[in-house]
Structure 1
Amino acid sequence: MRRLDGKVLLMTGAGGSIGSAAARRCAEQGANLVLTDIREDALEQSAHDARAAGAEVLSLISDTRSEEACDDAVAQAVEKFGRIDMVWANAGEAWVSESLEQDKDFWTRCLELELIGQWLPIRAALPTMVEQQSGSVLVSSSMTANTAYRHIAAYSAAKGGLQSLMKTLMVEFGDDNIRFNSLAIGSTEGRHIVASNAMRAGISFEEAERVVDLTKVTRDFIFPLGRMGTPDDIAPAVEFFASDDSAWVTGTTFFVDGGLTSAGMAGLHRFDANQWGTFKRTMLDD
């Protein structure tokens, strides 16, 4: 048997680079997938890849900020597959601005997506998991909730809130055999890091892609493992928390960050003056 044979996984933000990599990985391990995103083209590509890897897939255009949309996604999942074994709340985007420029509207929009929008699909699925007396809930938090970076006050607060939420739900639903965990994801190649650069520098997404490509080698220096992460580095962690191998793991924050949180800026000793200048202009302002 494959690791996830017969399991039903609901993934939000499934059209993103990390979401699609994890969907493909779990499909290869036998999971049936309910994939949601607000971007139709990206979602359909992710669903296509997951089907090609062997999964039965229900793909839904769905906004996690809508309680009704989340309830409907869960209802359709249960109608099609009869159960939900895992919810991975992964939808999100970059929220970068100097702290004093993050007004009430900025904070409201950020928390609505990054915190409330993670909670609503979980809330929608919990009654099904309680009835089953089993389930796994995973949220995409960030290493930025556990270390200090500039210009992401609202984002870091939201990601820290997710980690606290998982601990609260752990004790409320432990007797129902439902486990709750967070992924503290580090800087990972893909759309999210490019969007973050674009917002900070006030440039287009396409221009930011070129910047990220140019500075990749410099960025890699700060990771103890010598490189920035890829979506395929995150996918196995999602698979683990979807599997029965994590049956006695709950309330954890699991760091998938190439060691960066623990190492801090220890990697800076490798830089010469030119590399330091490039790093300071890019990574420290990221």
Structure 2
Amino acid sequence: MFQLDGKVALITGAIYGIGFEIAQALAKAGATIVFNSSKQSSVDQGLASYQKAGIKTHGYVCDVTDENAVKKMINQIESEVGTIDILVNNAGIIKRIPMLDMSAEDFRKVVDVDLTGPFIVSKAVLPSMIEKGQGKIINICSMMSELGRETVASYAAAKGGLKMLTKNICSEFGSANIQCNGIGPGYIATPQTAPLRERQQDGSRHPFDQFIVSKTPAGRWGETSDLAGPAVFLASSASDFVNGQILYVDGGILASIGKQPE
């Protein structure tokens, strides 16, 4: 029930990190992988990385916030690869700026990529899923779909909205045998978070590293590989009666108030 043979999976922005890991997991389960990025150089980088990993992929240049470009890309994918069975809305950005210092333009940019983008791409793939009588949409949410934190007002607003978009797609298209769920990663060890995990000159942990590890019942940062199993589950027939849910892969942070200071 976890096999994806014959399925076409589009993972947006899957050049590296979480998207790349999810794409590899779906490929190993048998899916044909399609990805996009807004720049040709990034697409070329992604194609090289997948080739190195032994995975055949199809890469397209497309900005997920451009509705006409997305429609064109989906039509091209359907013509060249096949209709999309699995969509993973992974493309996203974050701007860590204190709210009082953030411009409305920067706020809108984050919401446009992280929330409007998934709406546009989902809208583009849904007609073929409805016609086929099945489909899987996985939105990459965040713990910030539930929590707030300083400097991430736009990101938290977008990811909170993405949680509710997930539930609404479920409500509107569940009767068409389309399941829309989300994955909410916790703090994941990626190249982007590496500076926050570097040892200090005296050998101690970075203060933010200490903070995250102390807040996480698992006592560690997550690895991108921790997201592979949940992604395959939500993309496969194993989750055919799971709809409108957010699966938080966070080592237990959202379940815990944290440790008492010693």
**Shared fold (TM-score, shorter chain, > 0.5):** yes
Residue correspondence of structure 1 range 58-69 to structure 2 within 5 A: 58-69=58-69
Q: Residue type matched to 1:126 in 2?
A: L
Give the gaps of 5 or more residues in structure 1: 195-208, 271-286
Alpha-carbon distance in 1 for matches of 2:227, 2:186: 9
Once structures 1 and 2 are overlaid, which stretch shifts more, 97-106 or 129-138? 97-106
Q: Taking structure 2 as the reference length, what is the TM-score of the superposition?
A: 0.89
CA shift for structure 1 position 217: 5.5
- What SS does structure 2 have at the residue aligned with 1:182? strand
Q: Residue type matched to 2:35 in 1?
A: L
- Name the residue aligned to 1:150: 150
Which structure 1 residue ranges, 4+ long, deviate > 6 Å from structure 2?
A: none
- What SS does structure 2 have at the residue aligned with 1:131? helix
- For the pair 1:254 / 2:239, whether they are aligned, the reply is no
Contact 1:140–1:184 under 8 Å retained in 2: yes
Change (3 A) 1:268 1:37: farther
Q: Residue type matched to 1:251 in 2?
A: G
Residue correspondence of structure 1 range 1-286 to structure 2 within 5 A: 3-51=3-51, 55-192=55-192, 194=193, 209-214=194-199, 215=206, 218=210, 219-264=212-257, 266-267=258-259, 269=261
CA shift for structure 1 position 49: 4.5
- What SS does structure 2 have at the residue aligned with 1:15? coil
Contact 1:30–1:54 under 8 Å retained in 2: no
Alpha-carbon distance in 1 for matches of 2:159, 2:255: 18
CA shift for structure 1 position 189: 1.3
Alpha-carbon distance in 2 for matches of 1:262, 1:39: 39
- What SS does structure 1 have at the residue aligned with 2:94? coil
Bigger helix fraction:
1
Equivalenced residue count is: 254
- Name the residue aligned to 2:203: none
Change (3 A) 1:138 1:240: same
Alpha-carbon distance in 2 for matches of 1:39, 1:257: 31
